[in-house]
Amino acid sequence: MNGLILIDKETGCTSHDVVLSVRKLVQQKKVGHFGTLDPQATGLLIIALGKATRFFPYYLKSEKHYTGTMRLGFATDSYDAEGTPTSKITTDFPSETDLQQAIRTFTGRISQFPPPFSAKKYKGKPLYSLARRNKPVPLISSEVTVYSWTISGYDPPFFHFDIRCASGTYIRSLAHDVGRLLGCGGHLFTLRRVQIGSFNVSDALSLEELKTRIKNDERSSYLLPIESLLDEFSTVILNSEGVLLAGNGNSVSSHHILRFQSGTGAGRIGDDKTTHRLFSEDHRFIALSRRDEKKDCFHPFLVIETGNNED
């Protein structure tokens, strides 16, 4: 199978645990995920099967949408509720106005340090492997973008939030940094990912639901086929000669093209106007290509090679 499965991850399991479970359920080795969720977080996890795993760089760029709860009053070493407190507990909580002003500080393009207990890698090793052994953790800042961050409820010591951000943003670090700025300390209490790009958790399945649908042979109810993916990009329908050329990684020109179909434009990857999907007339995804305006041709750079008998 080639495509995506949307999973609503439960708390307590890792993203890799979900991958292993799906791999066992679909009885297929080539399975991966597009974007890690911490074990205690819940929500949308995109699972890729077969050749769809090659689309990771595109979904990595997609905007993320989270809801969650932050607890004020003390910080922890992991920046979440699973960690050990690293500051004194206080009940001197800020006003909602001060809280609103603090989160505005961390909205837009900001510099952020990852949590010590994170999968961020340093010299090929995840930071958590050092933190768990009480080794010094080298924290290197990176630029991230928080598009919006709003308060959906404030009942000290808890405040509930809604946040939209670019990939690579650590919500735990945001919670930690806000607590530090306010002077009362804070950490992430709960987190749920509700959207990645155009994919919503409302369309996702639990592992148990997926198991049932696989058992009932209801593939169309759980698999987003590879032909439906990356429709943000425009589609070029090729004739048989063009299909043969593109399938072998060769450029195709205007006389190989039967027609064009505009992309949806949804999501941030749709801002790329040079990338196009190449399809056969019978709706097979042949390749991703870049258009050369000067030579009036399309150069395949990622060949999918879906054949007539592709499973």
- CB of 158 within 8 A of CB of 74? no
- CB of 72 within 8 A of CB of 180? no
- CB of 189 within 8 A of CB of 69? yes
Encoded tokens for 14: 């890792």
> Is 217 assigned a catalytic role?
no
Q: Is the dihedral of CA 193, 221, 207, 53 positive or negative?
A: negative
Find, among 68, 149, 72, the residue nearest to 103 by Cα: 149
Of all helices (H) and strands (E), which one includes residue 96? helix 96-105
Q: Is the dihedral of CA 21, 25, 30, 35 positive or negative?
A: negative
Tell the burial category of 114 from Cβ atoms under 10 Å away from its Cβ (0-12, 13-18, 19+).
buried
- CB of 174 within 8 A of CB of 112? yes
Catalytic residue among 8, 38, 177, 231: 38
Put residue 39 in one of left, alpha, beta given phi > 0 → left and psi -120 to 50 → alpha. Answer: alpha
Find, among 246, 196, 212, 239, the residue nearest to 48 by Cα: 196
- CB of 161 within 8 A of CB of 151? yes
For residue 195, the Cα-to-chain-centroid distance in whole angstroms is 9
- CB of 150 within 8 A of CB of 162? yes
Find, among 126, 16, 310, the residue nearest to 280 by Cα: 310
Q: Which residues are catalytic?
A: 38
